[in-house]
């Protein structure tokens, strides 16, 4: 009699858990969680595949990795993936090339303060260093050491045009 009472009392808290485990609410919740797991997994596989393709690595290979290792595959990919998109890096290279060409064509470094100055500047705006002198005739900027203006052919000391 006393043993039965003991068992009944002891079983009481477990009955709630048992009922909960058998309840349709839990079953539906678990099914929903499984569904959510699969949906996110498929989305991650798709994302890994397209992102890898855009970054110039094998999209198919990383897609397979993401399928075989749900979640973990994408995590591994995130760690080892190339740092930028292929188009972005190409664009940046192009931008750099344009910038370099511009620098080569239009600008120089001031020999005194090493700041960028434009090719036709007479004086460095930063340190006032004399970069060029204006031609006595056509006023175009020419190198300090040049005897004759390369644009109009005027000798800088005599002011006379060189005759060819």
> What does the binding site for Zn ion look like in residue numbers (CB under 5 A)?
110, 112-113, 124, 126-127, 129, 135, 137-138, 149, 151-152, 154
Minimum CB distance to Zn ion smaller for 57 or for 137: 137
Q: Rounded distance, CA 47 to CA 55, Å?
A: 12
Cα separation, 6 vs 2, whole angstroms: 6
Shortest Å distance, C-beta 138 to Zn ion: 3
Q: Token pair for residue 50? A: 């397209």
Closer to Zn ion by CB, 44 or 110: give it. 110
Please identify, using beta-carbon distances, which residue of 46 and 151 lies nearer to Zn ion: 151
CA atoms of 108 and 120, how far apart (whole Å): 9
Please state the closest distance from residue 105 (CB atom) to Zn ion, in A.
20
- Cα separation values, 26 from 12, 20, 100, Å: 20, 7, 65
State the nearest-atom distance from the C-beta of 123 to Zn ion, in Å: 9
């Amino acid at each position: 009699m006393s043993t039965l009472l003991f068992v009944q009392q002891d079983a009481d808290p477990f009955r709630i858990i048992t009922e909960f485990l058998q309840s349709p609410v839990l079953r539906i919740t678990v099914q929903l969680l499984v569904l959510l797991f699969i949906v996110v997994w498929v989305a991650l596989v798709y994302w890994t595949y397209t992102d890898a393709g855009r970054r110039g690595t094998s999209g198919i290979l990383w897609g397979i990795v993401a399928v075989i290792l749900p979640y973990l595959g994408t995590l591994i990919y995130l760690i080892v993936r190339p740092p930028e998109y292929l188009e972005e890096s190409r664009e940046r290279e192009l931008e750099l090339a344009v910038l370099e060409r511009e620098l080569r064509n239009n600008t120089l470094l001031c020999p005194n303060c090493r700041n960028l100055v434009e090719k036709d500047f007479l004086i460095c705006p930063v340190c006032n260093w004399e970069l060029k002198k204006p031609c006595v005739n056509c006023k175009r900027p020419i190198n300090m050491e040049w005897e004759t203006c390369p644009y109009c052919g005027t000798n800088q000391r005599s002011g006379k045009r060189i005759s060819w």
